[in-house]
Amino acid sequence: MPVDEDPVATPAAHRRVPWVTGTLVVLLVAIWILLELNGGSTNLQVLIRAGAQENVLIRAGQWWRLITPIFLHFGLLHLAFNALALWFAGSAVETMFGHLRFLAIFFLAGIGGSLTELLFDPRPHLITVGASGAIFGLLGALVYLATLPFGRGEFRRSVLLAIALGLAYGFVPGSDINNYVHAGGLVTGLAVAATLGVPGYPGQETRRGLGLILVTLLVWLVISRLD
């Protein structure tokens, strides 16, 4: 069935190959293999030594644990789910935003998710790993795309459904999913994507201004909670 040409499919977007997304997927798999070869990816002590998030350790000064958990996964199923989600969401975001903006959204959303857990989760010894905060940040970037004129109704519904399912699954008993990380990553990704904007696409000034305000509010919230 013929469809209208996507008005945002600019020549620049057509030329972008999501090689950064592919590299990140390969990196996640490689690190998981290393964990398996050095005690197992489901061994909590192995994960802690590798850099898993444990809030009591972060508050003791190990701030790198806000970033390193992004690259660690608990078992094959956890890795497979996040790798697939990263590939599909990341490819779309990298194609539209470009390589550097994609990296900024991915890493800042991952850190935002970790910070949200640190600041709001009352469990100081909870062990958390996974790229899901960063991936939800990519979904936040897709939400931003859905606010632009080319974000058609079906696209918007698909993005919102993916977010709703991801957040809802976190409330299933025994799911071991941290909605603090997901929510923090989602909001951070949306804020960063709105602030950076889609390169080469006109009429984003108001959205970018709102994104900058949201980023400022998030920074203020983090500082106020850390005091």
Q: Enumerate the active-site residues.
A: 132, 182
- What are the angstrom distances between the C-alpha of 199 and each of 51, 95, 100, 171, 185? 35, 11, 11, 37, 22
- Residue 66 carries which DSSP code? G
* Distance in angstroms (rounded) separating the CA atoms of residues 182 and 109: 9
Percent of residues in the chain assigned helix, strand, coil, to nearest 5 = 70, 0, 25
- Contact 46/38 with Cβ under 8 angstroms? yes
Q: Give the chain's end-to-end CA distance (angstroms, integer).
A: 58
CB 134 within 8 A of CB 187: no
Which residues lie across from 127 on neighbouring strands?
54
